Amino acid sequence: MENAKAARNKKIRHAIMIIVLTILFIAFIFPFIMVVINVFKVKADITAAPLALIGKHGFTLENFPNAIEKMNFFRSFGNSLFITIFATIGTIILSSMTAYLIVRNNWKANKILFVLMIASMVIPFQVLMIPLVSLYGGVFGILNHRLTLIFMHIGFSLSMATFMFHGSIHTNVPISLEEAATIDGCNKFQIFAQIVFPILKPTIATVAIIDAMAFWNDYLLPSLVLGRKELYTIPIATKVFYGTYSTDTGLIMAALLLAMLPILLLYIFLQKYIVEGITAGAVK
């Protein structure tokens, strides 16, 4: 009796939760639905009835080629990809090596570096942007290079990544394994590259996901570093495009969809790893 009642209550509770979640979920994807239904309409139909599934003038694909050409989509896509990939790889290699050095050697220099890195995490980007432009633009004159942006992306993400690798090496890498390798004649770098680094795979995945997303989507830093049109990343290209064509709603819809598409497609395939990676990164 009691058990049957409890089971029924549980069923009702679950049904209510699924209904609430479904409503919330629809609210969450509503903006995306709006873009998707309007991207296939002509401008007049979007203005007249933005909520209609199909406009009076019917279905159109012409917004896409126009937007692709005018925002120079493939160029900015290439720039974003190049910058994201190299900045992510750089961050992972440098921060994991640094974290390894800090965990295994109780030196004063290591402690100072680690404390500085942790403390720097509270510095807002706004405090550094003016001196960065002044130094790298005015003094060194090396703005407007993709490599400069990669260098800065790495610099800003090193602290957090080192902190995450530090925790992971501390708890997951058994020191006995390294001692055995030392006896076998491995030097420190070989130990790190062949034994420690492979054990860190889950943390590497988490750091790669968080940083790659941040690099891909960042606007403020890239907009300060890359002022030349042919160097634009997708967020800068979107911003500039919106500024020029803001009244041409059909084109804007296509540009916004194009800007979102690469990462959404990637998410469909890597969704499981991304969700797991972020969740794993949260547990400490």
Site for other proteins in 12-31 (CB under 8 A): 13-14, 17-18, 20-21, 24-25, 28-31
| Of the candidate residues 63, 76, 79, 162, the single one contacting other proteins (CB under 8 A) | 162
The pattern of x and - marking residues 52 through 91 that bind other proteins according to CB under 8 A reads ----------------------------------------
Q: Does 220 bind other proteins (CB under 8 A)?
A: yes
| Of the candidate residues 54, 115, 127, 180, the single one contacting other proteins (CB under 8 A) | 127
Contacts of 37 (CB under 8 A, 6+ apart): 52, 53
- For the chain, what percentages of helix, strand and coil (3-state, to nearest 5) are there? 80, 0, 20
Residue number, 61 or 272, with CB nearest to other proteins: 272
Kindly indicate which of the ranges 60-68, 70-78, 168-176, 233-241 contains the residues binding other proteins, using the contact rule CB under 8 A. Answer: 233-241
| Of the candidate residues 78, 189, 194, 227, the single one contacting other proteins (CB under 8 A) | 189
Please report how close the Cβ of residue 1 comes to other proteins at its closest, in angstroms. Answer: 18
| Of the candidate residues 63, 76, 84, 95, the single one contacting other proteins (CB under 8 A) | 95
Q: How far apart are alpha carbons 151 and 158 in whole angstroms?
A: 11
Largest CA distance in the chain: 80
CB 124, CB 130: distance < 8 Å: no
CA distances from 258 to 43, 64, 213 (A): 17, 8, 16
> Other C-beta atoms within 10 Å of 173: how many?
19
Residue number, 154 or 207, with CB nearest to other proteins: 154
Kindly indicate which of the ranges 59-67, 119-127, 170-178, 193-201 contains the residues binding other proteins, using the contact rule CB under 8 A. Answer: 119-127
Contacts of 142 (CB under 8 A, 6+ apart): 136, 148
